[in-house]
Amino acid sequence: MKILGIESSCDDTAAAVVEDGRKLLSSVVSSQEDIHAAFGGIVPEVACRKHIENILPVIEKSLRDSGMRLDEIDAVAVTARPGLIGALLIGVTAAKTLSWALDVPLIDVNHLHAHIYGAWMSDAYPQMPALSLVVSGGHTSLYVTKGPLQHRQIGSTVDDAAGEAFDKVSNILKLGFPGGPAIDRAAAGGNPKAVNFPRALLNSENNNFSFSGLKTAVLYHCLGQNASREAMEAANFDPAFVADVAACFQEAVVDVLVNKTCKAAQRSNAASVIVGGGVAANSLLRARLSEETKNMGLSLFMAPMSLCRDNAAMIAGLGFHLLKSGRRADMSLEAEPSA
Ligand code: KG4
Ligand code: ZN
C-alpha cells in the first residue's frame, strides 16, 4: 500500500511516499530556515505564504523521486493537528483536493504521534509498553505508548518547549536560527561545568517540564538582570564564553530530559524508550539517552537524523497504520492548532 504523506504544520513543506508504513520511496523537505533566520524565529504569516508556493512542487518532486504516478497512490495522509493554523490549512487543502480528485482515502494525522512513529520506521518494532518523548520546537511531552496508534500523554512542558529554549538561547548568544544545531556545534568546544544553570522540576514527582526559567537564567548570566533589548543587540561575546554558556545550557536541558524520561519509563514499567522531534537530533541527548537506557536495561528507539525534524515520511508511515485501523477523514476535515 503506497501512501502519499503531506506535512506543513510549521515552517517545513514536506511530501513523501511510503510503502506499507516503513519503506521510504521518497521524502522531500523544503525548509524555510533561511527566510525565518532573518527574523530570529518563525513568522507564521511568512511561513503560510511560502507553503503556498512550495506545496505543489514538493508533492511533484516526491512523486518523481518515488517513481510513482499519481494514480498509483493508494491514500493521502496529512498532518491535521497540531501546528500553525494557516500553515496546516495549506497541507490539509492540498491533501483533500488530491484525495477527492484521485478518489482515494484521506487520512488525518496527529503530528506528535507521527514524531513518535518516526523512531520506529527504520528499526525493529519497539517492545511495548514504551515511554515516548516528543521533543521539538513546539512541544516537549511524555507519553505511555502501547502501539503506533495508542499514546496516553502523561506530561508536558508547562511553558517553553525544549527546542524553543534552544532557539531563544541561541538568539541571546547570537548563534543564529534555528538554535538547536548552532548550540549543539558551539557546545562541542565549551566546558559543560563552567556555569551551573537551573534544572527546573528535575526532582518533582510529576512528568512535566519547564524551560523558561533556564532561558532567563542564561539571559541574566550573559547580560545581567536589567538586560534591555538594546543591550542584547549591542552584545559582543567572546567565542570561548559563548561555547561555555552553550555547553552548560545544553547540559541542563539534557539532564532534565534524560532524567525525567528515564524516571517516567521506570514508573510506567516501560520496556523501551522512544524519542522523536527536532531536538532528538541533539548529539548530547542521543549519547546520554543511550548510556542511561543501557544502564537501566531499556531498549532505546530514536528517530534517525533524517526523520527527527519535520518530514512527511513519518506522516505517510503513521497514515498506513491509521488506514489499516479503518480511519478515514472526509471533505469536512479541518486543520486544528492544538493536539
Ligand atoms: O520537530 P521540529 O523540526 O519542528 C517542530 O515540530 O517544532 O523541531 C524543530 C526544533 C527547533 O527548535 C530546533 O532548534 C531544534 O528542533 N533542533 C535541535 C537540534 N536540531 C534541531 N535542538 C537541539 N539540538 C539539535 N541538534
Ligand atoms: Zn515537529
Instruction: Assess whether 88 and 146 both reside in one domain.
Output: no
Residue 166 Cβ inside 6 Å of ligand 1? The answer reads: yes
At residue 123, the pLDDT reads: 72
Mean pLDDT of 135-150: 97
Task: Tell me the CATH number at 24.
Answer: 3.30.420.40
Instruction: Assess whether 139 and 268 both reside in one domain.
Output: yes
Specify if 198 maps to a domain.
Answer: yes
Q: Is the pLDDT of residue 168 over 80?
A: yes
Q: What's the gap in Å between 228 CA and the centre of ligand 2?
A: 32
The model's pTM is: 0.96
Residue 118 Cβ inside 6 Å of ligand 1? The answer reads: no
Instruction: Assess whether 76 and 196 both reside in one domain.
Output: no
Residue 309 Cβ inside 6 Å of ligand 1? The answer reads: yes
Q: What's the gap in Å between 13 CA and the centre of ligand 2?
A: 12
Residue 279 Cβ inside 6 Å of ligand 1? The answer reads: yes
Residue 278 Cβ inside 6 Å of ligand 1? The answer reads: yes
Question: CA dist 230 to 220, 223, 237, 276, Å?
Answer: 14, 11, 15, 37
pLDDT band at 136 (very low <50, low <70, confident <90, very high): very high
Specify if 331 maps to a domain.
Answer: no
pLDDT, tens digit, 9 for 90 and up, residues 221-250: 999 998 888 888 899 999 999 999 999 999
Instruction: Assess whether 87 and 130 both reside in one domain.
Output: no
At residue 114, the pLDDT reads: 98
Q: What's the gap in Å between 74 CA and the centre of ligand 1?
A: 31
Residue 261 Cβ inside 6 Å of ligand 1? The answer reads: no
Q: Is the pLDDT of residue 124 over 90?
A: no
C-alpha grid cell, residue 56: 505543489
Specify if 335 maps to a domain.
Answer: no
Mean pLDDT of 125-137: 96
Instruction: Assess whether 66 and 195 both reside in one domain.
Output: no
Mean pLDDT of 251-272: 97
Instruction: Assess whether 50 and 127 both reside in one domain.
Output: no
Instruction: Assess whether 220 and 276 both reside in one domain.
Output: yes
Specify if 103 maps to a domain.
Answer: yes
Instruction: Assess whether 105 and 170 both reside in one domain.
Output: no
Residue 310 Cβ inside 6 Å of ligand 1? The answer reads: yes
Instruction: Assess whether 282 and 156 both reside in one domain.
Output: yes
Residue 66 Cβ inside 6 Å of ligand 1? The answer reads: no
Instruction: Assess whether 165 and 248 both reside in one domain.
Output: yes
Residue 178 Cβ inside 6 Å of ligand 1? The answer reads: yes
Contact 180, 279 (CB under 8 A): yes
Q: What's the gap in Å between 331 CA and the centre of ligand 1?
A: 32
Domain that holds residue 296: 123-302
Specify if 57 maps to a domain.
Answer: yes
pLDDT, tens digit, 9 for 90 and up, residues 60-96: 999 999 999 999 999 999 999 999 999 999 999 999 9
C-alpha grid cell, residue 210: 519547564
Label the pairing between strands 12-19 and 150-156.
unpaired
Specify if 338 maps to a domain.
Answer: no
pLDDT, tens digit, 9 for 90 and up, residues 279-337: 999 999 999 999 999 999 999 999 999 999 999 999 999 999 999 999 999 999 999 99
Chain-wide mean pLDDT for the chain? 96
Domain count, the chain: 2
Report the largest interatomic distance among the alpha carbons of the chain, rounded to a whole angstrom.
Answer: 61
Residue found by looking up cell 515552517 in the block = 11
Specify if 332 maps to a domain.
Answer: no
At residue 113, the pLDDT reads: 98
Residue 7 Cβ inside 6 Å of ligand 1? The answer reads: no
Instruction: Count how many residues are written for the chain.
Output: 339
CA-nearest residue, atom 7 of ligand 1? 137
Instruction: Assess whether 106 and 34 both reside in one domain.
Output: yes
**Best mutation site among 9, 258, 279 for ligand 1, i.e. most ligand atoms within 8 A of its Cβ?**
279
**Ligand number with the minimum distance to the CA of 138:** 1
Instruction: Assess whether 92 and 198 both reside in one domain.
Output: no
Contact 11, 27 (CB under 8 A): no
**Ligand number with the minimum distance to the CA of 139:** 1
